Amino acid sequence: MKKTDNQILTIFGASGDLTERKLIPAVFNLFKRGFLPENYAILGVSRTDFSDEEYRKKVVFDNPHLKASKEKPDELDSFAKLVFYQSIDTKAVVDYQLLANRLKTLCNDCHTDQNYIFYLSTPPSLYSVISKNLGEAQLNTEEKGWKRLIVEKPFGYTLESAKELNNQLLESFKEDQIYRIDHYLGKETVQNTLVARFGNTIFEPLWNRIYIEKVEITAAESVGVEKRGGYYDGSGALRDMIQNHLLQLVSLVTMEPPARMDAESIHNEKLKLFRSLRPLTQDDIRDNVIRGQYLNSTIGDKEYLGYRDEQGVDAESRTETFAALKFYIDNWRWADVPFFVRTGKRLPTRVSEVVIHFKPNHHHLFSQRRIANSQNVLVFRIQPNEGILLKFGLKVPGNGFKVETVNMDFQYDGLTDAYVPEAYERLLLDCMQGDATLYARGDSVIAAWEFVDPILKAWKDDPDLPVYGYPSGTWGPEQANTLIENGHGWRNPCANLVDDGLYCEL
């Protein structure tokens, strides 16, 4: 276990939903399990006027996402003593002297050695403003203790805005001080793809174009945009999921083995991978990129609104709630292997997974034996029912060679004695310990934007590129199935990993 320095976590946007729903619960869980250092404090910062006690009541005692252990009913009281609040106008540089003074006071009272994490849980428009003002107040300097800046997504709206934001952050903070958070990378099964690949001799020799036919990645949500229609209508599925979460996931599945399991080595390999993505031409965007919007439908006895009927959404919006694309990686390992990525809202179930389709045997000994030309499939289930599934053929007992496909699976919730931390818990602890392995580096973020940006420009400039409708509760537009040529189509998973291949309730 790495040593965790004494420190203060400063949360900008401290009165917002993310802080109450994810950040404070994550730190509380670290507190319960003894992962916090001996001297630690949380300082909430926003424009709302709270006293320390009022803020503690809001984010600790009245927070439905915090649950104390039955054996330790005083846990909330003990944790609340670590929580403080400072009201400032984040756009006013003069107010940052108030913040600096408060941090110095807390540092002296809590003995935290001027080690500060600044978490930007704010609208993206404030990222550069806050970082600049922190620099003006000398809260970025490391003469007396380290300083780290955590930036939430979205990191830019286009390639140009991402470059501009990156340059603005680097004016006040060094690259090794900036932690660009992607909560997908904090999920246990995402991290386990590296172990499965590089820690097992049965997988890595097969992890290439010679043995793998295709790779597909699905990130499906059963909910719609809910009350986020105003935000989502300016974003869409490509920006919201593929540019960050899913391309980061692609990089972990496909990158070359790093020289060492440290942040710099892994980031270097991810950057090489992003730069190997084959640029999409106008023809590729027309033929190999599908976008859609969910339509109103009835599922069971419940009516669901179409996307354009949601609160805050333009009645003529062309923002995609579904996106699917086919692309290639131009390097020695993956030449000519197609990759299929899709994400969408109002799909049948909430599920995220990576599916590795191995090529069938060249000589089909068991053709006409029910599963002629059967293929092995390896599934990394990211959520829910986190686990791994391997599909392979076995002979059915009895005469002859009747072959059935069987499943061999492992699920994390079967480890009854192991606690699987939430993504924000793992990522916050990593930042506390100075480990940037599961965070995105600036050059990789820009390289991912270079791949995605031509799609966004084509959608903006060419009104003839269609937006397909799909009924809520289905697996997206039918046209998405045309991306996969071999007739098998997408793997449409059940919510439960072990129900693979069966009819199941979604």
Is residue 118 within 8 Å of 147, Cβ to Cβ? yes
Q: Of 199, 201, 186, whose CA–CA distance to 386 is shortest?
A: 186
Radius of gyration of the chain (CA): 24
Torsion of CA 385, 470, 279, 262, to 10 degrees: -20
| Integer angstrom CA distances of residue 241 from 186, 249, 341, 503 | 15, 11, 10, 28
Give me the torsion for CA of 423, 425, 431, 432, rounded to 10°: -170
User: In the 8-state DSSP scheme, what is residue 462?
Assistant: -
Helix (H) or strand (E) holding 86: strand 83-87
Residue type at 343? T
The CA-to-CA distance between both ends of the chain, in Å, stands at 40
C-alpha distances in Å from residue 423, one per residue of 29, 191, 428 = 12, 11, 9
Residue 184 tokens, joined? 């997908």
Between CA 117 and CA 430 the distance in angstroms is: 12
Token reading at 341: 């990525």
- Rounded to an integer, what distance in angstroms lies between the CA atom of residue 312 and that of residue 228? 8
Alpha carbons within 13 A on the beta-carbon side of 306? 17
Tokens at residue 105, please?
Answer: 């006071």
Structure tokens at 477: 């537009």
Beta-bridge mates of residue 86: 45
Q: Are 142 and 112 a contacting pair, CB within 8 Å? A: no
Q: What is the spatial distance between Cα 176 and Cα 410, in angstroms, rounded to a whole number?
A: 36
CB-based contacts of 279: which residues, under 8 Å, 6+ apart?
450, 451, 454
Identity of residue 230: G
CA–CA separation, 210 vs 206, rounded Å?
A: 7
Q: Which residues of 51-63 are buried (b: 16+ CB within 10 A; e: fewer)?
A: eeeebbebbbeeb
Q: Which residues are catalytic?
A: 245
